[in-house]
Amino acid sequence: MTCADVRLDEYLDGELGDVDRRLAEAHLSSCAACRGELERSRKLEALLRKVPAGSAPDADRFVSQVRSRSRRPVPWGLGAAAAVLVGLAGLLALPLLRPWREVSQTALRAELLKYAAGPSEGFEREIVRAGPAGLEVLERELSNPDVKVQFAAAALLFKIADPATRERVASSFTLRPPGNGGWVLSDPGAEETDVELVPIAVSALETGGHERWAIDVLRRLNRMGSQAQGRIIESVVTLLKSDNPRVQKLALDIVKELDIEFPLSAIVDLLDSPELGDEALRILRQATQKGLGKDKAAWRKAIE
């Protein structure tokens, strides 16, 4: 083992397996330079540990305050979803255009999993054609134990359902009563699969009515790192290309609010929009520190 191979930090932190640890020890016993480096790391650690953290608050008072604050109503309509969902089957018992009730759950879930991986317009059209029965089967999947299926169902509902159904979906993003299972999103971004919420939030933006909620969810998901950011960028670029100025404006709002490097070329395309050209120009200037006007060709050249 050479000095370059010895993983001193991992050795110091007890992260090496038995074999690697023994190899590191053997190297250290014969290499003064690495022993010196290890010693410096230990001294640094000792120095860092001497920095005081301050004493903790009184435990009883702390616990009691957490208890009382936990029982305040949560912002997104605590627990309403389950009760609403119970009555849903009756509300949607309308004539079927297609035999959607007969669709096997396994087949539907397989489709939803595919949709979670990449939205498909074909599948969306199928559900729309199925009418209320299509929405009904989707709503049932909001309780599916597989979160990807839940997310895909919710994303689709946001995209194609009527406002009342969308309202129910939004409400279900909250704490559910004990024993009801499903996901809880009082802190989106706390678990890896929350990244699947990106399309739901984006669908909510597109359909309107929950814009602030959706941007807040995206902002929180943005904390999750590159995987979520990649999904957000992908979605925002799609929104920027929409032919609906309201949706394009929302996409620009996300660009402004989230600290992500969006592809500027998608923003250049908005420069000749009567409604959004000025805003797009401001964003481009801020991102590049260049003082160009609304000449799209010049901007394309500048950001190449």
Partner 1 sequence: MGSMSEGDAMVDAELVLKFKGGEESAFEALVKKYMKDAYSFCMRLTHDAQEAEELSQMGFVSAYRALRGFRGESSFKSWLYRIFINHYRDRMRRTRRAEARLQVVREETQRRQAAPVEESSIHASELSDLVRSKVELLPDRQREVLVLHLYQGLDYHEIAGALGCTYDDVKMNLCLARKRLKEELKEHL
Chain contacts with partner 1 (rule: CB under 8 A): 9-10, 13-15, 40-41, 43-45, 47-54, 56-57, 59, 62-63, 65-67, 69-70, 74, 147, 175-176, 178-180, 182-187, 189-193, 220, 223-225
Residue recorded with tokens 């702390």: 62
Judged by CB, which is closer to partner 1: 97, or 190?
Answer: 190
- Residue 217 near residue 195, CB atoms below 8 Å: no
Judged by CB, which is closer to partner 1: 66, or 97?
Answer: 66
Report the candidate in 152, 108, 114 with the shortest Cα–Cα distance to residue 130: 108
- Residue 250 near residue 239, CB atoms below 8 Å: yes
Judged by CB, which is closer to partner 1: 63, or 97?
Answer: 63
Q: Spell out a b/e string for 138-155, using b for 16 or more CB atoms within 10 Å of the CB, else e.
A: bbebbbbeebbbbbbbbb
Q: How far is the CB of 176 from partner 1 (least distance, A)?
A: 7
Distance, in Å, from the CA atom of 3 to the CA atom of 128, rounded to the nearest integer, reads 64
Q: How far is the CB of 170 from partner 1 (least distance, A)?
A: 16
Judged by CB, which is closer to partner 1: 174, or 207?
Answer: 174
Judged by CB, which is closer to partner 1: 50, or 293?
Answer: 50
Q: How far is the CB of 147 from partner 1 (least distance, A)?
A: 7
Q: Quick one: tokens of 31? A: 């290499």
Q: How far is CA 144 from CA 112, 152, 192, 215, in A?
A: 11, 11, 18, 25
Judged by CB, which is closer to partner 1: 6, or 135?
Answer: 6
Q: How far is the CB of 79 from partner 1 (least distance, A)?
A: 11
User: How do the residues of the chain divide into helix, strand and coil, expressed in percent and rounded to 5?
Assistant: 65, 0, 35
* SS3 label, residue 35: helix
Q: Taking the CA atoms of the chain, what radius of gyration do you get in angstroms?
A: 26
Report the candidate in 259, 262, 256, 73 with the shortest Cα–Cα distance to residue 174: 73
User: Residue 70 class from Cβ within 10 Å (0-12 exposed, 13-18 middle, 19+ buried)?
Assistant: exposed
Judged by CB, which is closer to partner 1: 27, or 159?
Answer: 27
